Amino acid sequence: METAAIAVQAMLGMSMGMLYWIVSSGLTFTFGVTRVLNFAHGAFYMFGAYFTLSIFELTQNYIVSLLTAAAIVALIGAVSERVLISRIYGLPVPFQLVLTFGLVLIFDDLVRIFWGTVPKMIPPQFVGSFNIFGRSLPIFALYFIITGIVIALVIYLLLSKTDWGMEIRALTTDRETAMSSGLNPSFLYVTSFMFGSFLAGLGGGLYLPISSASPAMGEHIIIYAFIVTVIGGLGSIKGAFISALIIGMVESLGAFFIPWMTIALPYIALAFVLILRPEGIFGEK
């Protein structure tokens, strides 16, 4: 009985880990290409949830709302990149961080202006559960896991099979050589920013049905995304995948065995990695 409960808890952890993966993969992707760490990535996640909510109110179709919302967030990402982020590529890191933090302040208040401060919900989606080892596992957990795996496959195929992916890889491996052989970095910057923002928006929309949309929801996820990327190794997509799953599992199994420690667990994992392997699991030294 005990083992079954643990297995279900592990599945739940894996599903949350997949959510962290979806958001962190976007953050890692844009960071790898532009070398700017985007604090506003959490705000894009929040936008994803709010746009899904508003479009759902119009269409009553969750999947359509989710994808449209993520596409809108991708556009917001592209505009932010062109108008602001593209102006700070050469600046010292603190200025880059602070500028994207300024965006967080602006976006958070925009959400308060347009949607109010009260958390908003949509009717639950993917209700029900199925039995596994004699326990019930909510269906949304399965959706998270499937979506996470699909996104991992899409990223893999994009990077390995398309010209765009090849150029991105060239740019992230050896910037100077890539640029001197005639790559157009502006195009890659804006498209990768769109892609990363799309993933953030998708994460927010996916999380909406099992929670609610609220103005500060982005900050929780961005901290998790930071922990995931530091543990996985900054800029490593593979690392983000592995460490997101680790964090999801640690959190969920921790809640089962040592509930009073739950909030501290991801940070303890972070501290461990920092001491044992400062560059992260897949980070380059």
Partner 1 sequence: MRSNIVLLVIVALSLFIPFTGNDYLIYLSTKIWILVLYAIAFNIVFGYSGLLSFGHALFFSASAYTLAILVVKTGNPLAVGFVAGVAVAAVFSAGVGFLSLRHKEIHFAMITLAFSMMFWGIVMKWRDVTGGEDGIVGIPRVMPVIWFYYFTFAVVLICAYLIYRFVKSDIGLVLEGIRENETRVRFSGHSTLKYRLYAMIVSGTFTGVSGGLWAMLDRTVTPSISHWSFSAMPVIATLIGGPQNFIGPAVGTVIYVIAQDVITRYTLYWQFILGMVVVAVVLFFRGGVMGVVEKMIRGR
Residues of this chain that interact with partner 1 (CB under 8 A) are 37, 84, 87-88, 91, 93-95, 97-99, 101-110, 112-113, 219, 223, 226-227, 229-230, 234, 263-264, 267, 270-271, 274-275, 278
If the CB atoms of residues 44 and 56 are measured against partner 1, the closer one turns out to be 44
Q: How far is the CB of 115 from partner 1 (least distance, A)?
A: 13
Using the CB atoms, write b or e for 118-146: b if 16+ within 10 Å. eeeebeebeeeeeeeeeeebbebbbbbbe
* Nearest-angstrom CA–CA distance, 181 and 196: 25
Kindly state the smallest distance separating residue 157's Cβ from partner 1, in Å: 28
Question: 144, 98, 124: which is closest to 210 by C-alpha?
Answer: 124
Whose structure tokens read 């997949």? 18
Q: How far is the CB of 82 from partner 1 (least distance, A)?
A: 14
- Supply the minimum distance, in Å, between the C-beta of residue 107 and partner 1: 8
Nearer to partner 1, 16 or 99 (CB): 99
Q: How far is the CB of 67 from partner 1 (least distance, A)?
A: 29
| 105 to 86, 97, 108, 168, 233: CA distances (angstroms) | 19, 13, 5, 30, 27
What minimum distance in Å lies between the beta carbon of 65 and partner 1? Answer: 26
Tokens matching residue 153:
């496959």
CB of 36: closest distance to partner 1 in angstroms? 9
In the bound state with partner 1, the residue whose beta carbon lies nearer, of 42 and 138, is 42
Nearer to partner 1, 205 or 235 (CB): 235
The residue (of 37 and 178) whose beta carbon lies closer to partner 1 is 37
Cβ closer to partner 1: 110 or 139?
Answer: 110
Nearest to 88 by CA among 71, 100, 101: 100
Q: Can you spell out the DSSP letters for 136-191?
A: EEEHHHHHHHHHHHHHHHHHHHHHHHSHHHHHHHHHHH-HHHHHHTT--HHHHHHH
Q: For residues 133 and 152, what is the distance between their CA atoms, to the nearest angstrom?
A: 27
C-beta closer to partner 1: residue 112 or 161: 112
* Alpha-carbon dihedral angle through residues 164, 170, 173, 177, given to the nearest 10 degrees: -150
